[in-house]
Amino acid sequence: MEKEINKMDLGIDFIKLCQRNRFPLLFIDKVVHLEPGVRAMAVKNFSYNEWFFPAHFDDEPIVPGFVLFESMAQAFLMTFLSIEDRQGSKTSFISATNVVFRKKVVPGDSLVITADLMSFRHGIANGKVSATISGDIVCSCELKIGVTEMLEAMRPRVPNE
C-alpha cells in the first residue's frame, strides 16, 4: 500500500527517510513543495553557527561552493527518492554540467532550491537545479545522478565458466 505524502510533513524526518545524507553533510532543512517524479523545492537556512564559516573565511564568511552544490544535489535527490520504492536508495554522481555560481551566499541567507527531474531511465536521473535568494539566482546546474542498486541490476554479468 503506497503511503500518501503529507504535505505538512516534508521536514527533516521525511528528508532523512528519502535520502542517506546525515549531519554534518545534510544541507537542506525542509522541502516546501514536492511532486514526486517531477519537481522539488527545498530550503536551506544559513546561520553563522554553521561548521564551515569560521574556516571560510573568518574575515568575510561565505558559503563554500561545495556546500551550495551539495545543497542543490540533495534537493534534486528529492525529485526521485521521494517515490516510495526508491526511498533510502544509495546514489552516486554521474555528472554535473553548466554549473554557474553567480553571487555570494552569506550567514543569514535563506537559499530556495528548485529541482526539476527531466528524465529517469535505467536508474539514471537527469535534471536541472537552480538556487535563489530573495528571487535572485545564485547558482544553477544540470545534474545526472545514478541510483546505485538500479545501475548494478543493469550491469551485464559474465557467466561462470
pLDDT digits 0-9 by tens, 16-65: 999 999 999 999 999 999 999 999 999 999 999 999 999 999 899 999 99
pLDDT value at residue 8 = 54
User: What are the sequence ranges of the domains in the chain?
Assistant: 12-154
List C-alpha distances in Å: 135 to 38, 56, 70, 131: 21, 25, 20, 9
Q: Which pLDDT does position 1 carry in this prediction?
A: 34
Quote the pTM value. 0.91
The pLDDT, as a whole number, for residue 156 is 84
Q: How far apart are CA 161 and CA 42, in angstroms?
A: 50
For residues 148 and 124, give the distance between their C-alpha atoms in angstroms, rounded to a whole number. Answer: 9
Q: Do the bridges between strand 30-35 and strand 39-45 make them parallel or antiparallel, or are there none, so unpaired?
A: antiparallel
Sheet holding 91-101, edge to edge: 30-35, 39-45, 110-121, 124-133, 136-147, 91-101
66 pLDDT tier (thresholds 50, 70, 90): very high
In the set 16, 30, 39, 56, the catalytic residue is: 56
Residue 33 designated active-site: no
Q: Comparing 58 with 113, which gets the higher pLDDT?
A: 113
Kindly give the pairing relationship between strand 39-45 and strand 136-147. Answer: unpaired
User: DSSP assignment of 89-127, as one string?
Assistant: --EEEEEEEEEEE-S---TT-EEEEEEEEEEEETTEEEE
Q: Would you call 43 helix, strand, or coil by DSSP? A: strand
Which tens digits make up the pLDDT trace of 89-109?
A: 999 999 999 999 999 999 999
Q: How far is CA 12 from each of CA 21, 57, 95, 134, rounded to the nearest angstrom?
A: 11, 28, 26, 23
**What class has domain 12-154?**
alpha beta
